[in-house]
Structure 1
Amino acid sequence: MRAVFVGAGSLAVLTVQCLLKRGHEVVMIESDKERIEALSEELDCGFLHGDGSKPALLREADPDKTDFLFCLTGNDQTNILASLAGRSLGYRRVVPKIDDPEFEHLCIELGLHDAIIPARTTGRYLADMFEGRDHMEIIALVKDEARVFSFIARKEDAMPINELNLPEDSRVMFLYRNEKFMLPEPDSTLKQGDEVMIVTHSKNIEKLHERWNH
């Protein structure tokens, strides 16, 4: 698979290192030329120098051959703008990083459902660690062809779960509404903004991405 990164901060570098070890192709777009020169000595990937929110530079990174566009600069507005530009150019999936949670609903309204808030994720992890919860136990349960898929419910998804017309071998297991965990029934109705977690067969992942993360 192929990934393009806008920004070369610590989060981007750590992710790139993991992807390269797993044999994936990576291109990094960075505005700081000295940063590129330093990273080029330790990362075996492609580099483009310039503003990653500019459509011309994103087009040069070849969206047609790219599976993910990660927008991980230190500026929320730049990440959102780069994600919108990337989506308009045909990147299959765009993931903006936002540090200010106030931008979360804006991302949802703009259709950027894969937006991540690293501080919130880390905060949840540390709180769970404090209470003795082991996330590795959950990961270990996902074996064989089982996969976990999540999406943010849109206005058109506001319907009973049993009317979602999910692919075969797919089930809504739980959801978060206003940051609160919910264990729904099949006839429970989704609301816009719900974060829905589905367990499914690996063969369904592409179809689910096309429906909710295009």
Structure 2
Amino acid sequence: MRAVFIGTNDLTIHTAQLLLEGGHEVIIVESDRKRIDDVSETLDCAFLHGDGSKPAMLREANPKQTELLFCLTSNDRTNIIASLIGRSLGFGRVITAIEDPEFEPICVELGLEDVVVPMQTIGRYLADVTQGIDILELSTVIKGEARFFRFVLADESIHHVSDLDLPNEAQVCCLYRNDCFALVEHNTRLCKGDEIVVLTHSRNLPALNERWHSE
């Protein structure tokens, strides 16, 4: 597997090290030459010197031959822009890290599927631990071709799950309204602005993206 990272913070270094130990190819894009020199003493991988939020720079990383693009700089806006450009250039999968949770619904509206809020995730985990909750790893539940798909409902004419006209092997499992979680049942009324979470077969992702993220 081939992975490209934008930025050289601690999250990048730790993640890249794990991938390298697993025998994967890693390329890191960094605009600070001194930072490249420092990190290269720790990581035995390839580096590209330049701005990872620029299309020309990302093209040098060979998007069509890259399975993963990690946008992990310390600047949320840079990560979002780089993610959108990376997606348009054809990277297999784009992972976007943001520090400010307020950007998360914006990322969803923009169709960025893999958004990580590190501090929020760690905080939620620690809060669950203090309550004695046994954390079940999502990777042990979502296997094979199963995928989650999220989108923000923008169509005011849609009021029920049946109005979504989802493909076979796709089902709404929950929604977030004003940041509040709710399970979805057959009689649940949908509202504009709801963040809808769908459990689906991976083959449906292109059609779902075209339908809900191209509006």
* Alignment TM-score, normalising by the size of structure 1: 0.79
Alignment partner, residue 94 of structure 1: 94
Alignment partner of 1:152 is 2:151: yes
Q: Name the CA distance, whole Å, in 1 between partners of 2:11 and 2:172.
A: 30
Aligned CA distance change for structure 1 residues 79 and 139 (closer, same or farther; 3 Å): closer
Q: What is residue 44 of structure 1 aligned with on the other side?
A: 44
Q: Is the 8 A contact 2:175 2:194 kept in 1?
A: no
User: In 2 relative to 1, CA 136–113 (structure 1 residues): closer, same or farther, beyond 3 Å?
Assistant: closer
Change (3 A) 1:176 1:110: closer
Matches within 5 A, 1:134-213: 134-136=134-136, 139-142=139-142, 145=144, 147-155=146-154, 158=158, 160-166=160-166, 168-191=168-191, 192-198=193-199, 200=200, 204-208=201-205, 211-212=208-209
Quote the Cα distance in structure 2 between the aligned partners of 1:56 and 1:44.
24
Q: Do structure 1's residue 121 and structure 2's residue 121 form an aligned pair?
A: yes
Distance in 2, matches of 1:140 and 1:72, equals 25
Q: Which amino acid aligns with 2:59?
A: R
Deviation of the 1:53 alpha carbon: 1.1
One-letter amino acid matched to 1:80: I
Count residues with an aligned counterpart: 209
Alpha-carbon distance in structure 1 between the residues aligned to 2:104 and 2:141:
30
Cα 1:136/1:109, change in 2 over 3 Å: closer
1:2 corresponds to: 2
Aligned mates of 1:67, 1:155 — CA distance in 2: 30
CA distance in structure 1 between the partners assigned to 2:141 and 2:115 by the alignment: 26
What per-residue deviation string (whole Å, max 9, x for no partner) do you get for residues 80-100 of structure 1? 222232233233433322212
- How many percent of aligned residue pairs carry the same amino acid? 48
For 2:189 and 2:126, how far apart are their aligned partners in 1? Answer: 31
Q: Following TM superposition, by how much is the alpha carbon of 1:67 offset from its aligned partner in structure 2, in angstroms?
A: 2.3
Match of 1:72 in 2: 72
Identify unmatched segments of 5+ residues in structure 2. Answer: none
Inter-CA distance 137–4: structure 2 relative to 1 (3 Å threshold): closer
Question: Separation in 1 of the partners of 2:206 and 2:25?
Answer: 21
Give CA-to-partner distance per residue, 1:30-80, whole Å, 9 cap, x none: 122232223323333321111111211111001111222221101112112
| Equivalent residue, structure 2, for 1:83 | 83
Once residues 23 and 165 of structure 1 are traced to their aligned partners in structure 2, the CA distance between those partners, rounded to angstroms, is 42
**Aligned counterparts of 1:196 and 1:15: Cα–Cα separation in 2:** 27
Determine the C-alpha separation between the residues in 1 that align with 2:207 and 2:18. Answer: 25
In 2, Cα distance between equivalents of 1:138 and 1:111? 21
Tell me, in whole angstroms, the C-alpha distance in 2 between the residues paired with 1:43 and 1:126: 30
Give the gaps of 5 or more residues in structure 1: none
Q: Does 1:31 align with 2:28?
A: no
Structure 2 length-normalised TM: 0.78
Q: What residue in structure 2 maps to residue 106 of structure 1?
A: 106
Contact 2:172–2:196 (CA under 8 A) maintained in structure 1:
no
Query: Residues 175 and 181 of structure 1 are in contact (CA less than 8 Å); yes or no, is this contact kept in structure 2?
Result: yes
